[in-house]
Amino acid sequence: MSFPSPKEFYESFKNDSEAAKRASYKIGQELGQSFQQKLNAWGNDLETVAKVLNEFQTTVQGNPNAKVEGNTVTMRCTGFCPIMRAALTLNIPWSWLDTSFAWPMIQGIASHVMPGIRLRLPSAKSRGDDSCIYVFEK
């Protein structure tokens, strides 16, 4: 499976964030399927969403922490942010990379496992917060 780098993605979609979100969501769905296969985790429940998101986190930043909390899965990213690094290194707007690339991809990963799951971000580093908090709700 081969995906564009953040720079390639930005160059392709910088003038059309809606198309970027659709493409990134699709990439996320493909990643979700790949992680499910790797983990042999075929449920469509919150526990499986957390397992697949943890595999994603392990792949991109090495700090898996997605967990089921009641009727949600919560993922907290407090340390290294690969999207911030890409934005600073490549001189790409961080908020664009988050909203048009990272967040739709993560939503796509989760929705591959559990169609219809919603993503809410009460906290985001690109908005000046100390951490990114992703809340996935049925």
pLDDT below 70 — which residues of the chain? 1-2
pTM score > 0.75 for this model?
yes
Q: If you count DSSP H runs as helices and E runs as strands, how many of each does the chain have, helices first?
A: 6, 4
**Domain assignment of residue 82, given as a range:** 6-137
Q: What is the pLDDT of residue 62?
A: 74
Residue 1 covered by a domain: no
Structural domains counted in the chain: 1
Q: What is the pLDDT of residue 1?
A: 64
- Name the DSSP class of 16: -
Q: Find the CATH number of the domain harbouring 61.
A: 3.30.1380.20
